[in-house]
Copies of this chain bind each other. A is one copy, B any other.
Amino acid sequence: MEDHQRKACPLPPPALSPTVPPPTIADVARHCGVSVASVSNALSGTGRVSEKTRERVLEAARKLGYSASPAARALRMQRSWSMGLVIPDIANPMFGQIARGAAEVLEEAGYHLLVASHDARHERQAGQIRNLVQQRADGVILQPFSSLDEEVPMLARAGIPLVLLARRHIEQPSDYVTIDLRGPLLEGLAHLAALGHQRIALTLLGGRPSTTADERFAIYCGFMRDRFDTVDETLIIRMAHTDLESGRAAVPALLAARATAVIAANDILALGIRDGLRASALSVPQDLSLLALEDTFLSPLPGIELTSPSLPKQQIGMAAARLILARIAEPSRAFETIVLPSPLVVRGSTAPPRVGPT
C-alpha cells in the first residue's frame, strides 16, 4: 500500500495541499462508458439496470473510491440526511449513552447525528434548535428543558419531525419516549417500606414546569396514603437543580423531617445528600437510606453503590431514533409514546432504619 521507507518527516510532506478532488459521478460514468443516470441507478439500486452494467459500475466506483457528494445529494433530494439530538448535558454519561443508542440506529438508516447540548440554559436550547432548523435537519430528538418551551412548536411549524424525551410538551403533541415513572418509584417505595421505613422523603425537581415531577408526586402520595394512611408534606423536598450542591442543601430539611430514607431524583443528587450527611457525622445507610431514581454508571461503583433503578439509556436512544424514522417514512401516522421499563437494583445504600418503626 505505502512505501514504508519514509521515516521521520518533520515538515509538511509534499502532498498535503495539492490534493485531487474526490471523483464525481461523471468520473465513474466515463470510466466504464455508461451514462451518469445508469451509474446513479446502479448505485442506488433503485433503477432498472442490467446486471452486467451494475457490476461494471460497482467495480469502477470501488476502484475510484467514489462516494456521492452529500451536499449535492442533499440539494437535489431536499433532505439533509442529518438528524438533530438536543440533550441537557453532553458531559453527562447518561446522555452519552442515549446518543450512542440513537446514532446506532440512525447510521444504519443512512443518517448522521448532530449532537447538541443545551447545558440547562434556555437560550442555548433555543440557539441549538434554531441552528438545527437552519441546518435543515430531517428530524430532531429533544429532551426539552421544560414542558412549555416555545421552541418545540417552532420545530413543528417548520415541519421538522420531532421526538421528545423524558417530558412531553404541554400543548404540542409529538412522538415521545420516556421511562416508566410509576413502576420504579413504587418498587423503591415498597423496597424501603419492606425494610421498615415509614418516614420516606422524596425529592422533586421543581422550578421549571415539568410533567414528571407532578406525576411522581401523585404516585408517592398514593402509595403513602395507601400504606400509612397519611402523607406528611414535610417529607417532600423541592429543589430547582440537580447537582451535588443541591443535594447537600437538602440535608437540613431531611433531618428536620426526621426522614429515615430518601428517594432522590438521580444519583448525582444522591451523592450530594450523602456528602451533606457526612458533614453532620451521619452516614448511609446506617442513619439514612438513600435511593436514586435514575442511575448512571456511577451507581454500582465501589464507594458509591447506590440502590437505583437501572435506566435503559441506550434503549431510550434507539427507541427515539426508530420513532423519528417511522415518522419520516409516514408523516401522518398517529403519535406514539414508548414507555421503557427501569427495574430497581438494590445496592448498599439502603438498609433497615436504625430504630424500628415507632
Complex Cα distance, B74 from A95, in Å, reads: 30
Within 8 A of B (CB), among A59-76: 61-62, 66-75
If A62-B3, A75-B69, A329-B10 touch, whether A96 touches B100 (CB-CB below 8 Å) is no
Which of chain B's residues have a CB closer than 8 A to the CB of A297? 91
Complex Cα distance, B302 from A123, in Å, reads: 32
- Find A5's partner among B10, B68, B95, B329 (CB 8 Å cutoff): B68
Query: Are B75 and A72 closer than 8 Å at their CB atoms?
Result: yes
| Nearest CB in chain B to that of A114: its residue | B112
Which of chain B's residues have a CB closer than 8 A to the CB of A161? 17
- Is A134 positioned at the interface, with any CB of B under 8 Å from its CB? yes
Complex Cα distance, B133 from A224, in Å, reads: 58
Complex Cα distance, B72 from A135, in Å, reads: 11
- Is A358 positioned at the interface, with any CB of B under 8 Å from its CB? no
- Is A211 positioned at the interface, with any CB of B under 8 Å from its CB? no
Query: Are A69 and B136 closer than 8 Å at their CB atoms?
Result: yes
If A17-B332, A331-B18 touch, whether A43 touches B302 (CB-CB below 8 Å) is no
Query: Are B334 and A11 closer than 8 Å at their CB atoms?
Result: yes
Which of chain B's residues have a CB closer than 8 A to the CB of A20? 159
Query: Are A335 and B12 closer than 8 Å at their CB atoms?
Result: yes
Interface string of A1-16 (1 = CB under 8 A from B): 0110111111111011
- Is A183 positioned at the interface, with any CB of B under 8 Å from its CB? no
Q: Which of A80, A115, A133 has its CB near the most chain B CB atoms (within 10 A)?
A: A115
- Is A274 positioned at the interface, with any CB of B under 8 Å from its CB? yes
| Nearest CB in chain B to that of A17: its residue | B159
If A79-B16, A112-B131 touch, whether A92 touches B93 (CB-CB below 8 Å) is yes
Question: Other CB < 8 Å A-B pairs besides A70-B74, A96-B96, 7 of them?
Answer: A6-B73, A9-B46, A9-B77, A18-B159, A74-B74, A100-B117, A103-B116
Binding site for B on A (CB under 8 A): 2-3, 5-13, 15-22, 43-46, 61-62, 66-75, 77-80, 89-93, 95-97, 99-100, 103, 107, 109-110, 112-117, 119, 131, 133-136, 138, 153, 156-161, 171, 173, 244, 271-272, 274-275, 278, 297-298, 301-304, 328-329, 331-332, 334-335
List 17 A–B pairs whose Cβ atoms lie within 8 Å, in order of A's numbering: A5-B43, A5-B61, A6-B44, A6-B67, A6-B68, A7-B109, A8-B46, A9-B44, A9-B46, A11-B334, A12-B334, A90-B97, A92-B96, A113-B115, A271-B302, A303-B303, A303-B304
The 6 closest A-B pairs by CB, nearest first: A19-B159, A17-B159, A7-B110, A71-B74, A91-B96, A275-B302
